[in-house]
């Protein structure tokens, strides 16, 4: 699959970031330098890389880090969001007219890009959506192309309109539309002729079709294996004839994948589908967010970050942070934290995100069951005992233990642990508030 090497390199950079509780500006700059190298090596357009890094850097260095996240994760999150936005944010559907009208789609691209195959693949998608597509053989220069379209059309169970190689493509297109309106086809897909390189006569031919036929969508097919050439070809087609979107083929191959990251940014046109193999079913809708996750190899972290963003109450987190600093953290807060963790899933995953704790506690072996007894003990405490653990004398301990159904030694252990973690938190927050390491800033 494409992107393997890019993905591996980015993940190594992020591994370094994740391990750190706090990041300095220099850490971020160094990491972004490595990200930049990785993107350039993956053949991403250099202007795109430059803007991308600039944008990530501004956001990463300028921004207060959310108190529920470690700064490393925050940087990763920014890289991900920028990557999704680079590829166009949302998935783009091919625009179709209502079913009672004929939508004409003109497919274009260089020879060998995969245009004829993709045209047949697309027809299959429209058929699945309940449309009645008609494939039109407009490549009059290569008889083999007409045959290929007919064979693929048959495999897809889709009709193919052909007039052989003795007519001008624009006239074939007009005749096909007439045929479509008489026979109730509602999507007409024109498979136009490609050339080995961009040349004037190909562009003129496409323009002639566009000027004489009501083309609703012009879709360019480019080969991901050609890297930067795919981006240049997209730019040329867009400036000469105007395209509505791109289908990027052969992403199943061993391509470095730079085209997927550059096309939208360079042309302003979305990637609509990606070709993932030679079979007619190997065409996938292009989702920028899924592609970014694929490239960054970090679906799980993102889910976790999303959960944290959705579940953790910022104000509460800041209040807690203050309490930790002043060593006012009590059993109510402890309980609150456990509730938040439960809402979000696994305790071990969440610990690293807790305000003031960061990576220091991340390697500690923990599981959710360990907290069950603790919760029972805290719930057996009175309100006063929870907010002011100092009042818990031996007779209170006995009552709490009985209420929680545990031995009194468990209650002693928890109170002792609580006191020592309070001390540790105070020390840690002291350490973190040193110069250049202010909470919320790199
Ligand atoms: P055209 O000249 O642009 O019409 O290109 P074709 O449709 O004839 O495709 C050229 C070659 O690329 C054929 O061998 C196709 O099977 C192959 N091809 C097209 N799309 C894909 C794809 O997404 N993945 C792979 N691996 N091969 C593809």
Do both 107 and 256 map to the same domain? yes
ipTM here: 0.99
Closest C-alpha residue for ligand 1 atom 28 = 278
Is 254 a pocket residue for ligand 1 (Cβ < 6 Å)?
no
Ligand 1 near 112 CB (within 6 A): yes
If one residue of 249, 271, 273, 286 were mutated to test the ligand 1 pocket, choosing by the most ligand atoms within 8 A of its CB, it would be: 249
Q: What is the pLDDT of residues 267-324, one digit of tens each?
A: 999 999 999 899 998 898 898 988 888 788 654 445 455 556 655 566 666 676 676 6
Q: Which H helix or E strand runs over 218?
A: strand 217-223
Same domain, 347 and 375: yes
Distance from the CA of 279 to the center of ligand 1, in angstroms?
A: 9
Task: Verify that 60 and 204 share a domain, yes or no.
Answer: no
Q: What average pLDDT does the structure give for the chain?
A: 83
CB proximity list for 113: less than 8 A, separation 6 or greater: 194, 221, 222, 223, 249
Distance CA 223, CA 334 (A): 56
| Stated length of the chain | 442
pLDDT exceeds cutoff 60 at 358: no
User: Is 230 inside any structural domain?
Assistant: yes
The sign of the dihedral angle between the CA atoms of 328, 333, 337, 338 is positive
Mean pLDDT within 393-416 = 91
End-to-end, the C-alpha distance of the chain in Å comes to: 36
Structural domain count of the chain: 3
State whether 345 and 377 are in the same domain: yes
Comparing 41 with 23, which gets the higher pLDDT? 41
Cβ–ligand 1 contact at 124 (below 6 Å): no
Q: Clarify whether residues 15 and 154 are in a common domain.
A: no
Is 97 contained in some domain?
Answer: no
Q: Give the CATH number, domain containing residue 35.
A: 1.20.120.140
Is 77 contained in some domain?
A: yes
Mean pLDDT, to the nearest integer, of 121-146?
Answer: 94
* Known binding-site positions: 109-116, 191-195, 249-252
Together in a domain, 124 and 247: yes
The answer to whether position 259 is within a domain reads yes
Q: Which residues are annotated as a binding site for GTP?
A: 109-116, 191-195, 249-252
Nearest CA to ligand 1 atom 12: 114
307 belongs to a structural domain: no
- Domain co-membership, 125 together with 68: no
Task: Decide if 131 contacts 187 (C-beta within 8 A).
Answer: yes
| 50 lies in the same domain as 132 | no
pLDDT of amino acid 224: 94
Instruction: Give me the phi and psi of 177, to 5 degrees please.
Output: -65, -40
Radius of gyration of the chain (CA): 30
Structural domain contains residue 267: yes
Residue-range definition of the domain harbouring residue 177:
103-286
Q: Verify whether ligand 1 is closer than 6 Å to residue 253 (CB atom).
A: yes
For residue 296, being part of any structural domain is answered with no
pLDDT digits over 252-279, tens only? 887 878 999 999 999 999 999 999 899 9
Q: What is the CATH number of the domain that holds 421?
A: 1.10.260.30
Domain-located, residue 299: no
134 and 240 inside one domain: yes
Ligand 1 pocket test, pick from 110, 152, 278 with the greatest ligand atom count within 8 Å of Cβ, gives 278
């Amino acid at each position: 699959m494409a992107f393997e090497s890019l993905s591996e390199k980015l993940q190594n950079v992020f591994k370094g970031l994740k391990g750190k509780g706090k990041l300095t500006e220099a850490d971020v700059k160094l990491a972004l330098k490595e990200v930049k190298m990785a993107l350039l090596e993956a053949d991403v357009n250099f202007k795109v890389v430059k803007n991308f890094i600039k944008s990530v850097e501004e956001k990463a260095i300028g921004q207060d880090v959310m108190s529920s996240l470690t700064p490393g994760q925050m940087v990763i999150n920014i890289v991900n969001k920028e990557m999704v936005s680079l590829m166009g944010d949302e998935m783009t559907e091919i625009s179709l007219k209502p079913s009672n009208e004929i939508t004409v789609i003109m497919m274009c691209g260089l020879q060998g890009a995969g245009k004829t195959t993709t045209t047949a693949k697309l027809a299959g998608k429209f058929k699945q959506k309940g449309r009645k597509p008609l494939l039109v053989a407009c490549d009059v220069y290569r008889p083999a192309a007409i045959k290929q379209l007919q064979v693929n059309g048959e495999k897809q169970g889709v009709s193919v309109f052909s007039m052989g190689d003795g007519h001008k493509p624009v006239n074939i297109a007009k005749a096909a539309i007439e045929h479509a309106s008489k026979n109730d086809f509602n999507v007409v897909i024109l498979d136009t002729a490609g050339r080995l390189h961009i040349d004037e006569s190909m562009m003129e031919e496409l323009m002639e079709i566009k000027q004489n036929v009501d083309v609703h969508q012009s879709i360019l097919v480019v080969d991901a294996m050609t890297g930067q050439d795919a981006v240049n070809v997209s730019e040329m087609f867009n400036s000469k004839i105007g395209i509505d979107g791109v289908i990027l083929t052969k992403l199943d191959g061993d391509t470095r994948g730079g085209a997927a990251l550059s096309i939208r940014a360079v042309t302003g046109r979305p990637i609509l589908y990606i070709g993932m193999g030679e079979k007619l079913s190997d065409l996938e809708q292009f989702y920028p967010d899924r592609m970014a996750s694929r490239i960054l190899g970090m679906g799980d972290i993102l889910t976790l970050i999303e959960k944290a963003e959705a579940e953790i109450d910022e104000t509460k987190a800041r209040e807690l942070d203050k309490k930790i600093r002043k060593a006012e953290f009590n059993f109510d807060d402890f309980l609150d934290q456990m509730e938040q963790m439960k809402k979000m899933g696994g305790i071990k995953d969440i610990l690293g995100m807790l305000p003031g704790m960061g990576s220091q506690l991340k390697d500690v072996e923990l599981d959710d069951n360990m907290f069950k007894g603790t919760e029972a003990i805290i719930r057996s405490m009175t309100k006063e005992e929870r907010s002011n653990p100092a009042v818990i004398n031996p007779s209170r301990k006995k009552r709490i233990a009985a209420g929680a159904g545990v031995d009194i030694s468990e209650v002693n252990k928890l109170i002792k642990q609580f006191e020592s973690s309070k001390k540790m938190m105070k020390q840690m927050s002291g350490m973190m508030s040193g110069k250049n390491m202010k909470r919320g800033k790199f």
